[in-house]
Structure 1
Amino acid sequence: MTRRIFCRILLVVVAILGLFVLSSVAARGNRDTAFERVKAVQEAHTNRLMAIKDVEGTAIGLDRNDQPAVKVFTAGPGVRGIPKTLDGVAVEVVVTGKIYALADPTARYDRPVPTGVSTGHPDITAGTIGCRVKDVDGNVYALSNNHVYANENLASIGDNVLQPGAYDGGVNPGDAIGTLADFEPIVFKRRARNEIDAAIALTNTNLVGTATPDDGYGVPNSETVGAFVGQKVKKFGRTTGLTQGEITGVNATVTVGYGSGKTARFVKQIIIEPGDYSAGGDSGSLIVTDDDNLNPVGLLFAGSSTLTVANRIDLVLQRFGVTVDNTTAGEPPVLTTIEVSPISATIEEGQTQQFTAIGSFDDGSTADLTSTATWASSNSAVATVDASGLATGIADGATDITATQDGVNSNTASLEVTAPPPPPTLTSISVTPNSATIEEGQTQQFTATGSFDDGSTADLASTATWASSNTDVATVDASGLATGILAGTTSITATQDGIPSDAAALDVTPATATDTVTITKAEYKLRNGELNVEATSTGAPDAVLTVYDSTGAVNYGQMTYDAKKDKYKFKKRGVTDPGGFVMVISSLGDSATKTVKHK
């Protein structure tokens, strides 16, 4: 009897446990299904919501009742036009303030530098080294944001990246830890669908390590995990150091402001709270799971006073074809030798010669130390050498160039500086064309070619002194451009360094008329000396008509054009008697005469 009762009780317990397990599985399945439904609703309405003034973004999250909901981020309270539900899904409004890329307007670390510390392009303030990544060929890179390493698309591939960033005292090229290798361009358009703000800089294991500073989380896992609402995460960044937070939104669409005043829309983003999880200068930080696994989840790039925004790390790594490098090492390799090249070179005074320094380490690796070694010239009166190994010739002589780092001296490279050869001597000048004909008012370009005692030639048109033998016929300017004045002949010559050219003949012929002038009135009043002349020109109104006496020696002045009557007029008192007729000359080449009627 007792055994039968026990069996019945056992069956009841098993049944209850089965119902509990089934209900738990069903609840988890229902929650996943609910999130998928909320995601579909969010994506269907995001563009309309983002069009509302002061809406900064949307995401999938949990409402106050711990139920899946569409979260709408706003710049401030009281934003109108946001519905309470969308297709039956609850809408929760979260006041975040404006969302900005977190570059900040703290110090230099020994190489190899840890991750999570100050870095940046020379032209930006400072951000954070997220982590070290590697490709299938074994190349290693420092990972951060586009706006940290690529200056919001403005940088060029090959530009240096620094540690620390320029705001924190970084100097280019002395503090370079790598060169920009690739970046995903940010599209600054209203309906753009940016997914990542990321860039990588080519470096080496002697310059960038894999672990954060000692007060950080250490070395991240190479295996990434997907983000989900409620996930606990942490990061180590330049400004706020090690912080913990919780993912409160996924699949977020947000509008992000950049320091240049531009904005960009991002999709598929991760939202982390609380607000003090990050601050300006933390951009580029790697976000990992807040557990012993330290699986990468996202790449921090923006935030507001209440939340942080991150790219999905899987999308970032796929874009560049890299994986997180979690290689750990003991003591860094020791520098053993430095080889400077070229071992000998010759330059002239004022010229430069680039030297390079390659370091060899006790683990068999090598590294380019050109930008980090200390350079020296044994005779700075002969040549100097700057911090990047660029030598400049000063005076005739010889000097030794060396590089030193970590107490290791390089081999000696010899540099000879020679005086530049004397400039060649000008022997003759040839002017072309050697003859030309133009009309009055036209121009002719002459060129002067100099021949030198070393067999070389040069264009002297802009440096020679030009002259016309008869400036009444034609003038010539400093560039060899001659202008015809009056019909006749003149010679054009060029002189430089006391060497005269051969003479080029220039004939100036009367200008060909392009209009027809007719004098319709020519009167002169003897009592007051008033001259009254009227004329027409087929070149009106462009033609300029001038009145002369019968000899052509007296210029009475220009006529005035009457547009309504389409004629030129001249009236002036107190002039000398023009004689039997007057002459009118047009600027377009024609002329006419008419007998003067005396009154």
Structure 2
Amino acid sequence: MMMSQRTTIQGEVIGFNEILHGKKAIHCWTNAIQAAMVPQPLDLSAYLGLEVSVSGTLQEDLWLAWLEGVESEETPIQITGKVVGLNQIYSGGREITCYRHGMVEAFHMPLNLMDYMDETMTVAGILRGTTLYRASIVSVPERETGMDANKEATSLNDLLRIRAANREQIEAINGNLGTALGYKWTNGQRTNHPCIMIFVPQKLNPALVPPSEREPDVLEGPDGMWCLTDVVTGGKKESLADIDPLPPLSQENQDVIDELRSGNIGLIGGIQLAFYEGGIQQPSNAFVGTAGIAVRHRETKKVGFLTNQHVADEPGRTIYHPRHLNARLGFTKRVRTRVTDAAWYQGVIDESFSSVRCDCAFVQVSDALQSLVKPGLHVIGNTGSVLPINPDTMDIIGQKVISIGRTRGVQRGTIVAYAYEFQDDFFSRYTDLLIIGEEGKVFSWKGDSGKVIVTDDAELRPVALLWGGWQERLRKGREQEMWSYAIDLGKILDLLNLDVLV
């Protein structure tokens, strides 16, 4: 007998292996019609009342049938219960098993609830019997610390003091890639609890970590002050060869980059800077970066650009724009690379052999070009007054920002942490800000060094000077994956005796 071609039909599940297709009830069997003496039903009981898509050989009933997909699902519901297993909660007198995948997907992805064992929490998903599909965590219990709520840290300076008092304990944590100050995140949502963020290459089940290397939930500082900790996955790549390629730029952004490197848009924040190393005029000996923003020296009144020391090199270095074989723009007037932690943080902390990487430089434009220097940032526009970072608050954390650089063009991001300590052995090294690109995008790349970061709002207030990031190798041979590094712009301007040109 000639077999019909395979077809796909849709219908509402009205029985164990029965769907209503149009006005006709059709039974679904997994074996062929030739095996009708012992038909094997396609179990659709989990989808009773739902529209499904099934395929097979249609001959009155559907043979050689399999489920293609669920066409409609109920609205997700929330369930509150006590965690009793890896992905089980006990609620309403029954145990519910939670999976991150849908009902018809072949892979097995339990929703890991181990961190909340024996605690009551809320999850959401599509409930079928005692199984919750496409499950996610909605809320978790507020952890009891047993600490005096009036002594909880409320500012960046509070967190600086607590971290300084616990250096040895923090450094012992397994795989520590550095620490920073910010807010604790739970279930993908920021809480209102200031915390010390501890970056590790990979989060592990606490049972796999020796007790001496586990992170404490709470750290105590001077005078009974305390804060929570937050362990964050900070880097995974063990070698440069493992780094994923950069995501492509939009054509609009590529056009902006071409303008920044062209030498045809004038002298404005964002354009490319270049110099030779050792005076050897070979492309391999050329260094490029970004002219952050136009500035004026407070005493000499000379105009130039703020950038990084590793872009401007050393005082007296000739700087070119747009490329190292093109017109002489000016020369490096002044640079700074480090400042002691006591001076930078105004005495809040004072550790031996400790400093802040400030990595800044003033490139003075030649006298013949002084009048051609324009304020503001290319494409982004004129900027407002400098935004000071106040460490007696937490205000800078969460600030939305925007910038322009000669490699990635215009990029948006968020300031997520302060006072990143990226080296802590015999010497300690700090930088001010960690910035994550919008929607996980790359905020900066090589050649963007020296760009100035401004608030992403109508005022466009300059706030920071970028010096590195996105796979920057800073500590223990691991590549940091997500962040860019920047320094407080207000302090940089005071250090170099500059004002932003308006």
Return the TM-score normalized by structure 1.
Answer: 0.41
Give the structure with higher Rg (CA): 1
Structure ranking higher on relative contact order (CA contacts 8 Å, 6+ apart): 2
Structure whose residues are more often helix by fraction:
2
